[in-house]
Amino acid sequence: MMKLILIFSLITAVVAGCHSPAAPAEATRMYTDSITPRNISITSSGSYNDLFLDSNAVTRFITAQHLDDTVANRLISFYNARNYEFAWLDSTGLTEEAAAFRSLYSYLKDSVHNRELDTRMNALMEEDSLHVSARDPAMVNTELMLTIRLIQYFREKGGSVAVMEQMVPVSKQTTEQLTETMMGVDDKLYPAAAAMKPWLKKYRDIVKNGGWEPVAISRKAYSKGQSSPEIIPLKKRLAITGELKQMDSTTVFTEELEAAVNTFRNAHGYTQNGVINDTVIRAMNIPAAQRQQQLLINMQRMKWMPAEPEGKLILVNIPAFVLHVTNKGKKVFDMDIVVGKEGHSTTMFSGKLNMVVFSPYWNIPRSIVRKEILPAMRRNSSYLARRNMEITKVVNGVPRIRQRPGPRNALGRVKFLFPNSFNIYFHDTPEKSLFNRDIRAYSHGCIRLREPLKMAQFLLEDSPRWTNEKIDSAMNSRKQQYIPIRPPVPVIITYFTSWADDADGLHQVTDVYGHDERMRTKMFL
């Protein structure tokens, strides 16, 4: 399991000192610190984001919001440190940091949200294409209100002004510059990222030594026992990154090479079948410098991870297609999942799982009804009957359609609800074959579970009346039944394409939604 999960008991950069008796004093000191001078060296040519505020807009905002001097000074200081570069919005919409901070804030705040701000963020996240202007008053207000939320967060949890002002990067850097920065940060400040430092050093050294040469194969695949001159460069490649422990110069696909290939395949999210094929070759040929940047991108993300709860936790890592379940910091089980396909991308957020629904109806989203169901109904008048679907009402000319409980129901035999703005939840599925694939991005945005029975048993294990037999019966009853979960179980949806596990292994998986690539263009010169 990811080492960043196992070290949740430590405190991340955002929550440094939040459990310390000294936190209130730290918060007080934070608000008496001087204002950071304006950093005029930050310009649009090398900035992290591509929008800049008018400093007068910040002054007007302070007046309109009737901010007290301490909060106003921290707001000015925050933007002085950025030369008034936007932190939470760029020209295409909300940044990844905005989503990450919102997830962290929601995770720790059950009911202290600025609902108007969250509604605005929901609207921005739902836009397929968006162009943000720095002169748009609504966008400026959203940007500044998010910074006020960050200031309030630090005020409650403690932490230095410097840490707060560096939570969102301000400028692009070379890979080497950012590597040096990451290698030099305090491990106690960024404990999740600290686990990545040995790997960052290793890849920095590999890059300095020239990286690795691309490899190629002329046949469909190689496996143990076969022989070819093409196997020699494959061995050299795996020796550089350490999967092959002892290099040999023979052309034979040895047992040692098979073990190295399986280590590589596992680390990159592929089935351990001992085979070198085009998929493995493509992963091997990603340049070492790009892998180094991948580490830095994910270390940047890790600063937004919260501290571990005292009880149960469900954490989803989208590009790994895996769900992790822990209790009091200890692993309970991992589970394969299917996530949203491109265009229906599963969103990064946090929530509280508070309901199990046995034998559920599937209330088909309006967008799916319009784009998929209605055209199918026009082609085939018996489409609904054949799929055990029914129309419940018609709203503005569009029917509300649901699928009845049963073996062909798209949600399977059970779903798990954690209320959120994106209508995303966990559920069973009748399409079990998808779990046999390495890349599992096929859903409409919700998360399908390989072993839903195991999840139901875990969530209801403290309820004596819900025996395994009763759970199985409810899942197959074809009668919808809602079961509350008390206390609710925290759920965190994350996006890490690189992480270190508890066996000190490095994982680097496919950037299934292209988030890494977008971050790469923002972070590096």
Which residues are marked as active site? 427, 446
Q: Which token pair is 452?
A: 């839903």
Q: Which token pair is 70?
A: 């301490």
Radius of gyration of the chain (CA): 25
CA–CA separation, 229 vs 226, rounded Å? 10
Please choose, from the candidates 50, 169, 44, the residue with its C-alpha nearest in 3D space to the C-alpha of residue 100.
169
The conformational region for residue 509 under phi > 0 = left, psi -120 to 50 = alpha, else beta, is beta
Residues whose CB falls within 8 Å of the CB of residue 20, separated by 6 or more in sequence, listed in order: 26, 158
Q: Which token pair is 353?
A: 């799982």
Q: Which token pair is 238?
A: 């795996």
Quick one: which H or E segment has residue 481? Answer: strand 481-494
The conformational region for residue 292 under phi > 0 = left, psi -120 to 50 = alpha, else beta, is alpha
Q: 482 φ, ψ to 5°?
A: -100, 130
Q: Give the torsion sign (CA, 353, 329, 268, 259).
A: negative
CA–CA separation, 523 vs 525, rounded Å? 7
Torsion of CA 305, 80, 161, 45, to 10 degrees: 40
Q: Which amino acid, 442?
A: Y
Q: Which amino acid, 34?
A: S
Q: Which token pair is 343?
A: 């265009």
CA–CA separation, 4 vs 19, rounded Å? 19
- Half-sphere exposure (Cβ direction) of 62: Cα atoms closer than 13 Å: 16
Q: Which token pair is 87?
A: 């932190």
Q: Give the torsion sign (CA, 109, 114, 115, 118).
A: negative
Q: Which token pair is 266?
A: 């596992």
Q: Give the torsion sign (CA, 58, 63, 67, 73).
A: positive
- Tokens 């957020």 belong to 349
Three-state SS letters, 75-92: HHHHHHHCCCECCCEECC
CA distances from residue 519 to 73, 172, 295 in whole angstroms, order as listed: 30, 10, 12
Three-state SS letters, 183-223: HHCCCCCCHHHHCCHHHHHHHHHHHHCCCCCCCCCCCCEEC
